[in-house]
Amino acid sequence: MHRPIDPKVDCVFKTLFGSDDHRDLLIHFLNALLAEDLAAPITAVDILNPYNERETLDDKLTVVDVKARDSARRIFQIEIQLLVFANLAPRILYTWADLFSQQLQSGGDYRALQPVYAIWILDATLFRDRPEYAHRYRLLDDRGRALVDHGTIRLFELSKFDVDPVQSDAERWLKFLKDGESLDSTRLPAWMQPPIMRSAMSTLNAFSEKERDYHRYQSRQEALRVQRAVAYELEERRAAEQAALQAAEAALQAAEVERQAKEAALQDKEAALQDKEAALAEIARLKALLDQQTKR
């Protein structure tokens, strides 16, 4: 029986790209999404944090990432983020920098540093003011020259991915991640016909067909629903607090404008009073002068 499986769910994603049994999927995925960055293609990898399918259903895979190293000692990180939060961009940079710095042990030589390539798959929109779905970040000067061959950070927003027809391997993987849940292995579209994509689809089928795997998948789906509900509630609360803060600031600004207006009006009254007092004093002076002239 066919049951839809979302490849973005943590246990499925880590089975696809983070298990030793599917290194071919990981290698193809990395070569596809990093084709613009790699001087030489990846031929073999060691997974640094292999996924153990015996992990219990109660385990919380809050960080859904895969780390690997190839024969050239280059380091690769793949992370999928289903929810976007305010400080995600600094986190992306921090995790890349942390991986880069972890290469050196105490007393290590800087010549041992190798490029670190990070791939972030976002299921939500991070950059609302940018229409493109793919982003590439490197350490460059103002003339576009690299300081060192340090690697790249690649970021893909699936919410913006709408490529038709799908042609490149990178596009196949992104569409697979975005629409894999709706695919039927008995009627795969043309873009899913390459053998490597069929192999990825068979992994989804395994979660659909094996009761234990499907139960694990459903458990993770429920956990994600709870996470989303909590995140949305926090976002709504944050938005309400922000709106209340903006309203309070607007009220303070209005009160300040009113205070300044009253102060200006008071200053005008004081100036008018001073003018009146000066006029009365002038009248009194002239009257006194007139009285003196009359007495003479």
Quick: pLDDT tens for 87-98: 889 999 999 999
Look up the pTM and report it. Answer: 0.73
CB-based burial label for 70 (10 Å; 0-12, 13-18, 19+)? buried
CB-based burial label for 151 (10 Å; 0-12, 13-18, 19+)? buried
If we measure between CA atoms, which residue out of 22, 107, 277 comes closest to residue 12? Answer: 22
Residue 130 has pLDDT above 80, yes or no: yes
- Give mean pLDDT, residues 76-87: 87
pLDDT band at 217 (very low <50, low <70, confident <90, very high): confident
- Give mean pLDDT, residues 23-48: 94
Task: Specify whether the CB–CB gap between 213 and 7 falls below 8 A.
Answer: no
List, in sequence order, every beta strand (DSSP E) within the chain. Answer: 45-47, 65-70, 75-81, 116-122, 134-137, 151-157
User: In angstroms, rounded to a whole number, what is the distance separating the alpha carbons of residues 61 and 55?
Assistant: 10
Tell me the pLDDT of the chain averaged across its residues: 85
pLDDT band at 106 (very low <50, low <70, confident <90, very high): low
Other Cβ atoms closer than 10 A to 92: 19
E strand or H helix at 5, and its extent? Answer: none
How far is residue 154 from each of residues 20, 21, 117, 149, measured CA to CA in Å? 24, 25, 8, 15
pLDDT in tens, 158-193: 999 999 999 999 999 999 999 999 998 888 999 999
If we measure between CA atoms, which residue out of 225, 277, 171, 267 comes closest to residue 9? Answer: 225
If we measure between CA atoms, which residue out of 66, 69, 93 comes closest to residue 80? Answer: 66
Task: Tell me phi and psi for residue 59, to 5 degrees.
Answer: -65, 140
pLDDT band at 58 (very low <50, low <70, confident <90, very high): very low
